[in-house]
A and B are shown apart, each in its own frame.
Chain A
Amino acid sequence: MEKQKVDFNAITGIVVILLGIIYTIMSYSLPKAAIGNEMDPLYFPLGLGILLTVIGLILFLKSDKAAIKVALNSMMTKSPKDKEVTRMVVLTCIAAVLYGLLFEHLGFIIATFGFMMSILFITNGKKYVVNTAVAIIFSVSIFAIFNYALGIPLPGLPFL
């Protein structure tokens, strides 16, 4: 329950201000248009950047600055459950990036089988029989549906 009381507003405000400033600077340094008004493609992004900075500033000014310390503390010290969740999220992201890197080389079926196995391992643990069955059925049936029924080509098996 304690978790609910942590107030991230001040920190959010700071992050949003930074985001706004970076975006504004990047907008300003965009190449100028060759035809028409050279600033034309810049106005809209510039406006967005400035507005975001202002709103971030308002959020920061209205927020309870004493909460920064508490919020930072809560980010540092985590309950074991939170650590577990963070670990699962990080592992999922790593698996997804590997999936992307291998997708076009191994083809859909093999890459997806590997990806599903790793995700199921993260969530379902070491129940290899169930995991393997789900991963095989998923990758083969989705491949069949997309490739043959819908006519959306997915990369097939390598070396074929």
Chain B
Amino acid sequence: MTDMDSAALETPTVADFARTFRRIQAEIHKVIIGHEQAVEEMLSALFAGGHVLIEGVPGTGKTTLVKTLGLALNLSFNRIQFTVDLMPADITGTRVIETGADGRREFTFQPGPVFCHILLGDEINRATPKTQSALLEAMAELQVTVAGITHVLPPPYFVMATLNPIEMEGTYPLPEAQLDRFLFKVRLNYPDEAELTRIISSTTGPEDAGIEAVFHVAEAPQRIEALKKLVREVMVAPEIEQYAARVVRATQPQNSRFVSDEARAVHDDMVNRYVLFGSSPRGAQALILGAKVRALLDGRANVAREDIDRVAVPGLAHRIMLNYAAHSDGIDAVHIVERVLKSVRAARA
């Protein structure tokens, strides 16, 4: 660790943030071939203080991505393979009877796998809703409560859950309330031919990727927390906040009984036709937080509209519930978000 890094630990600057971010990216890409946008969005969610839902078909590197991130950040990492018989206590921890040195037996709390900095919930949709909900408290409040005792999770806490979009038989789709707790939803697509060739050559050879941890293990949590604090300090002009609010409002169908004050929202026929429920206010928070990270990466201390636009799809798509008409017409939430951005830009012009 250099002297500059030591200074950055105290008060990281915009330049520190961008440099650290790029360095983590570079380390991850030693292992992960391609998926540049997915990696950037995942790191953005990390520094914005959110959690990520990763959707991708098997074999596209979801688990590898998360493991590599843990190695690069030098943070504690746990992995839970969600199955249908997984119980909440299996992930939060439970009380066990232990015999003390004096021979007395007492209940002691045995922390579950959620007690770590980075948690990978693999195929989270295979667990029962009861188990999925157990993760909610950990994700939202960074704490778990077992037998009436609340245990705080050590910051930084970052949950990455993967969703397998195929083999839906016997799965439990995540409820909207739980989906809403993920800051971004990142989609991992199939690699193209060039990327696939590189994957083959890099993963089937004898040599190791040689990932270097960006932070020292002792100070990694503090460094990451300091950078997360810096993100929060990025300035947002009121008109940018209005823009984000307008985008979120535009995702809400005007014919919904939960929508009031219709006249002030941007109307879009596509939204009214295909959307059952639009984004919640958490979507607006996700837009601003993600945009702040984007601004820092661009060397700015202020958020611009371009930053909002850039994070709109990962921040809003998983919060929009589509109706049957959308599914029958082949419309997905990404289409809706892109259409909403277009409408809001046009209304602004």
A complexed with B? no
